């Protein structure tokens, strides 16, 4: 039975613009024929069991000729495979998807087209330029302009007479020729022009000008490919609607060291504020070596239960059979995030210290703990100061080990390259263990270089204390121990950092 080939648009660069249908198909694919302009975040959705065939194209450098790509798709489908042909942008907008569809249908291979968001629309939108606007443009024309002046089939005379917006794709190298041809055929030299480099990505840069001066302005700003050229009166709206490049963390690279399963909220917040987020999870949350201590706590009655983290709350609720057993028991939560996790499960904590430090509970607890039974639910490697002090006050204290943190393995090559090129703006830490595991992976020279050039952001006092052990006072400390507070503190501090230098731009990560 012949498999289906799905011609799928991956969108313009920002991986969050991938469509739901595209994501579903990528995650089910047997074979993926992958273009160069597909981001690594989208590529990470490809199943490990899938066969990946790189058929990338950049400018005149073609990894695989088009006729061979067509044959690969046919051959893989006729072996019964579900094939995803994953293209940057939209497969039918200068993506040769139409040619591939014709060849597949002629060979008797079923085809489905999955449109993607085209950079011709998304790029200007991310630059604050609407391609149509009632007051400025009632039409938009898309032009591929990567051919030489001698071979191009563009009707410049007709193009120069258009009142609407013109978007040139794949024409950055021919910008001088484009400006010359439009001027030669009668377009006003005062007509607005924008060149958008690496559109919708962390490294997007937009330069505006007119047909007369855009070449000089682009050369001065040293823009890089890939880039779009937008011609039209709508370019004047860039300064007014510049929503993307004006975000507080735009142009900043922020490292998140939190465990991958916990990092999504912080990553989302930072990306929503314009940052490029690099995940280097230094720890993983693992079950304890034995559940015995937690199960004994769950089976017993206590006067007070103390939860020191969200992870402890999650583990406790995964194993508890009947929460009604804690009716009448005082519940304490260390940190607002822990308190919120309890509230989400219908338990209102009685005690929450202002800071995310377990010993800050002590002033809230009775000096005389005689006859008081307390259970502390925490990580296996947690600190014992709280337990020791409660026992010193005469209390009976049991420990329920709910989880443990273990060092995570991750590829250091990318991180080391960024450190070498001073390409990291902020490193965020959410626990002492993330600090120790992160810096423990680096050489002394790498630690020194990073600490001198990047902002170090800490979620709270215990984490800050761990940072100080490496000879650095944290640059950023959250007002309270929550992910939101850490994000807000990073936004306030990072805006003072200078923009990317040329050397840092050269160290850019792969993008689409």
Residue with token string 């559109």 = 199
SS3 393: coil
pLDDT tens over the chain, length 512 residues: 889 999 999 999 899 999 999 999 999 999 999 988 888 889 999 999 999 999 876 554 556 888 899 999 999 999 999 999 999 999 999 989 999 999 999 999 999 999 999 999 999 999 999 999 999 999 999 998 765 455 557 899 999 999 999 999 988 999 999 999 999 999 999 999 999 999 999 999 999 999 999 999 999 999 998 899 999 999 999 999 999 999 999 999 999 997 666 668 899 999 999 999 988 888 788 899 999 999 999 999 999 999 998 999 999 999 987 878 788 899 999 988 899 999 999 999 999 998 778 888 999 999 999 999 999 999 988 889 999 999 999 999 999 999 988 877 777 888 999 999 999 999 999 988 889 989 988 999 999 999 999 999 999 888 999 999 999 999 999 988 888 999 999 999 876 555 444 444 444 443 33
Cα–Cα distance measured from residue 36 to residue 264, given in angstroms and rounded to the nearest whole number: 26
Residue with token string 């309270």 = 480
Residues 6+ apart with CB under 8 A from 183: 189, 211, 212
430: closest CA among 284, 291, 258?
258
So which residues are the catalytic ones?
35, 57
Please check whether residue 114 is in contact with residue 8, taking contact to mean a CB–CB distance below 8 angstroms: yes
46: closest CA among 69, 13, 23, 21?
23
12: closest CA among 91, 126, 89?
89
Cα 241 to Cα 245, 338, 491: the distances in Å are 10, 39, 21
CB neighbour burial string for 112-139, b if at least 16 within 10 angstroms, e if fewer: eebbbbbbbbbbbbbbbbbbebeebbee
Q: What element of type H or E holds 429? A: strand 426-429
Please check whether residue 336 is in contact with residue 342, taking contact to mean a CB–CB distance below 8 angstroms: no
* Domains of the chain with bracketed CATH: 5-117 (3.40.1010.10), 121-241 (3.30.950.10), 253-282+409-505 (3.40.50.10090), 286-407 (3.40.50.10090)
Please check whether residue 319 is in contact with residue 287, taking contact to mean a CB–CB distance below 8 angstroms: no
């Amino acid at each position: 039975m012949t498999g289906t080939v799905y011609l799928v648009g991956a969108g313009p660069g920002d991986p969050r613009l991938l469509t739901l249908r595209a994501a579903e198909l990528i995650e089910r694919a047997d074979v993926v024929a992958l273009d160069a302009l597909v981001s690594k975040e989208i590529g990470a959705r490809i199943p490990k069991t899938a066969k990946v065939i790189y058929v990338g194209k950049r400018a005149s450098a073609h990894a695989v000729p088009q006729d061979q790509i067509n044959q690969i798709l046919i051959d893989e489908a006729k072996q019964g495979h579900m094939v995803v042909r994953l293209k940057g942008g939209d497969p039918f907008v200068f993506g040769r998807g139409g040619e591939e569809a014709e060849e597949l249908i002629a060979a008797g291979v079923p085809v489905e087209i999955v449109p993607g968001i085209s950079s011709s629309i998304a790029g200007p939108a991310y630059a604050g330029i609407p391609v149509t606007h009632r007051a400025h443009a009632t039409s938009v024309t898309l032009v591929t302009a990567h051919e030489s002046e001698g071979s191009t089939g563009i009707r410049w005379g007709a193009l120069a007479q258009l009142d609407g917006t013109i978007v040139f794709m794949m024409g950055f190298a021919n910008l001088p020729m484009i400006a010359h041809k439009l001027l030669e055929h009668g377009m006003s030299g005062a007509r607005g022009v924008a060149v958008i480099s690496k559109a919708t990505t962390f490294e997007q840069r937009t330069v505006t000008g007119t047909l007369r001066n855009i070449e000089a302005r682009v050369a001065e700003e040293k823009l890089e490919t890939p880039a779009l050229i937008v011609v039209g009166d709508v370019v004047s709206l860039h300064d007014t609607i510049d929503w993307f490049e004006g975000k507080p963390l735009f142009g900043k690279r922020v490292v998140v060291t939190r465990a991958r399963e916990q990092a999504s909220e912080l990553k989302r917040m930072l990306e929503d504020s314009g940052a490029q987020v690099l995940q280097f999870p230094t720890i993983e949350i693992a079950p304890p070596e034995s559940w015995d201590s937690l199960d004994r706590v769950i089976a017993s009655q206590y006067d007070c239960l103390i939860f020191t983290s969200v992870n402890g709350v999650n583990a406790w609720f995964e194993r508890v059979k009947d929460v009604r057993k804690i009716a009448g028991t005082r519940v304490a939560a260390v940190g607002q995030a822990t308190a919120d996790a309890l509230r989400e499960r219908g338990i209102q904590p009685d005690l929450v210290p202002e800071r995310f430090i377990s010993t800050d509970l002590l002033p809230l607890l009775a000096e005389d703990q005689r006859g008081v039974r307390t259970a502390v639910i925490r990580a296996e490697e947690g600190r014992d100061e709280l337990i020791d002090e409660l026992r010193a006050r005469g209390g009976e204290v049991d420990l329920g080990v709910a989880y443990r943190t273990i060092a995570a393995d991750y590829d250091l090559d990318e991180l080391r390259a960024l450190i070498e090129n001073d390409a990291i703006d902020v490193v965020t830490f959410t626990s002492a263990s993330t600090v120790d595991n992160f810096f423990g992976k680096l050489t002394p020279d790498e630690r020194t270089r990073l600490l001198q050039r990047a902002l170090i952001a800490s979620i709270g006092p215990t984490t800050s204390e761990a940072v100080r052990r490496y000879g650095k006072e944290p640059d950023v400390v959250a007002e309270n121990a929550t992910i939101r507070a850490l994000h807000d503190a990073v936004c306030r501090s990072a805006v003072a950092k200078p923009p990317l230098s040329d050397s840092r731009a050269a160290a850019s990560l792969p993008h689409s």
